[in-house]
Homo-oligomer: A and B are copies of this chain.
Amino acid sequence: MNREELIKRIRERKTFLCVGLDTDVSKIPQGVTPLEFNKAIIDATREHCVAYKPNLAFYEAMGIEGWELLQETMSYIGNEHFTIADAKRGDIGNTSTQYAKAFFEKLNFDSITVAPYMGRDSVEPFLQFKNKWAIVLALTSNVGAFDFQMEQGVSDRLYEKVLKEVSSWGSPENIMFVVGATKAEWLKDIRAIIPDHFLLVPGVGAQGGSLEEVVKYGMNNDVGLLINASRSIQYASNIPEDYAKAAKAEAERIHEQMKFFL
Given contacts A61-B98, A95-B57, A153-B153, contact A115 B88 (CB under 8 A): yes
* Alpha-carbon separation in the docked complex, A146 to B51 (Å): 34
Residues from 23 to 75 in A contacting B, C-beta threshold 8 Å: 24, 55, 57-58, 60-64, 67-68, 71
Contacts of A55 in B (CB 8 A): 91, 95, 98
State the number of copies, please: 2
Interface status of A5 (Cβ within 8 A of chain B): no
A38 to chain B, nearest CB (A): 16
Pick the contact of A93: B63, B115, B142 (CB < 8 A). Answer: B142
A71 to chain B, nearest CB (A): 7
Interface status of A234 (Cβ within 8 A of chain B): no
Interface status of A174 (Cβ within 8 A of chain B): no
Contacts of A151 in B (CB 8 A): 153-154, 158, 161
Contacts of A68 in B (CB 8 A): 64
Given contacts A61-B98, A88-B90, contact A148 B116 (CB under 8 A): yes
Whether B99 lies near A61 (C-beta < 8 A) is yes
| Interface residues on chain A, number (Cβ under 8 Å) | 57
A230 to chain B, nearest CB (A): 10
A231 to chain B, nearest CB (A): 9
Whether B117 lies near A61 (C-beta < 8 A) is no
Whether B57 lies near A89 (C-beta < 8 A) is yes
Residues from 165 to 197 in A contacting B, C-beta threshold 8 Å: 165
